[in-house]
Chain A
Amino acid sequence: MTWTLLLTLAGIVLINRYFFLEPKIALKLPRVIGNMLQYSAPCLLTAICAPIVFFNGDQLRALPLDAYFLTAMICVVLALISKKILVNLALSLLCFYGLFYLLN
């Protein structure tokens, strides 16, 4: 990794982040896009999580008896029951390492 590449990567990421925050980028969004954006948060966050939950590197995990998959399910249930994120996080990490120990 050279400094040039490192700084170029930083530039690429910053451009992606800043591009649509710039008011000079003239933009009149069609209503379809506006309607779709309402759903961007749950969808994009899901898109980030799914590969980690279901894949180990490039390999599909051994479902359903896998600590990542099972704990993800437990997380969903915990989130439905309570909104306390830190408590739920602690519980789910406990489940995760417990399951990991049990399954291996």
Chain B
Amino acid sequence: MSDQFESYTADIEPKSMQNKKAFFQGVVDILPLSIAVLPWGILAGSMAINAGLSFAQAFSMSAVVFAGAAQLVSLGLVMSHASALTIMITVFFLTSQHLIYALNFRQDVSRFPFKQRILIGFLLTDELFAVGIGKDKQRNFAYLFGAGLCFYLAWCLFSVLGIVLAKSIPNLESLHLDFSIVAVFILIIVPMVKSSATLVGVIFTLVSACIFKYFQFEAGIVLSGILGMFSAMCTAKIVGVTNIGAPK
């Protein structure tokens, strides 16, 4: 009985410590992205005000929708008097890459209890995916929650900044604030390209994303991503035939 108790406490103690550690590791890992999102938050906040939203609505956009690109595009559509249905369909396709993020995290996250699952679901942004996907062993709740929450708070904070600044800085777009997140994403992508298959996938994605963008295809992100993934897999199959003992 006492043995059982000891092993029980021994399990609990390090676990809460581990969780704390994982939580802060998540925070640290997502910090560069949280900083780089500053300009995007400012853009989203100020654009909401410029589109005629009230303070409460502008803030809710960031706090509840919590999807930078979807917010900016839907605000643009509101300003050009698009119908609600158009905006809804556009946002669906624009954020459909999240379906694939969730597929990646499914194995780990679907085991969490509902409250934790829905929380991670809400926090599952491009950025959390970028950070979480590299951490196979650490994809536990504490880690994902630490990273997701840190990013969420940064996003809300910077959006408020944008809302406040909207009146004082008239032409925020001329400051070209949108490059920072691209820079961080490139810095994250490059180390991921470790095989010729991944390189082919990235190149296919790049070209097709530009073509979809040219023809103003709203689902461009997810479609070009899928095309790239497919071409990477095919390359791996072909290279795998010639390379015996190639990585699984």
What residues make up the interface of A, taking CB atoms closer than 8 Å to B?
Answer: 1-3, 5-10, 12-14, 16-23, 27, 29, 32-33, 35-55, 58, 60, 67-68, 71-72, 75-76, 78-80, 83, 85-86, 88-89, 92-93, 96, 100
Q: Are A45 and B67 in contact (CB under 8 A)?
A: no
Q: Are B205 and A43 in contact (CB under 8 A)?
A: yes
A16 vs B90: C-alpha distance in the bound complex, in angstroms? 13
A46 vs B39: C-alpha distance in the bound complex, in angstroms? 20
Q: Are A43 and B225 in contact (CB under 8 A)?
A: yes
Please count how many residues in chain B sit with their CB below 8 Å of the partner chain's CB atoms: 91
Contact of B187 among A10, A50, A54, A88 (CB under 8 A): A88
Shortest distance between the CB of B224 and any CB in chain A (Å): 5
Q: Are A79 and B186 in contact (CB under 8 A)?
A: yes
Q: Are A51 and B190 in contact (CB under 8 A)?
A: no
A2 vs B126: C-alpha distance in the bound complex, in angstroms? 26
Q: A19-B102, A89-B180 are in contact. Are A49 and B67 (CB under 8 A)?
A: no
A-B contact pairs, 28 of them (CB 8 A): A1-B74, A3-B57, A5-B88, A9-B65, A17-B95, A17-B102, A20-B106, A22-B117, A29-B103, A37-B100, A38-B232, A39-B229, A41-B189, A43-B204, A43-B224, A43-B229, A43-B232, A45-B188, A47-B205, A48-B126, A49-B186, A50-B205, A55-B213, A68-B176, A72-B186, A75-B190, A79-B187, A96-B179
Q: Are B184 and A20 in contact (CB under 8 A)?
A: no
Q: Give the A-B contact count at a CB cut-off of 8 A.
A: 248
Q: Are A17 and B101 in contact (CB under 8 A)?
A: yes
Q: Are A10 and B64 in contact (CB under 8 A)?
A: yes
Q: Are A13 and B70 in contact (CB under 8 A)?
A: yes
Q: Are A52 and B179 in contact (CB under 8 A)?
A: yes
| Secondary structure dominating the interface of A | helix
A102 vs B188: C-alpha distance in the bound complex, in angstroms? 27
Q: A6-B64, A8-B88 are in contact. Are A44 and B99 (CB under 8 A)?
A: no
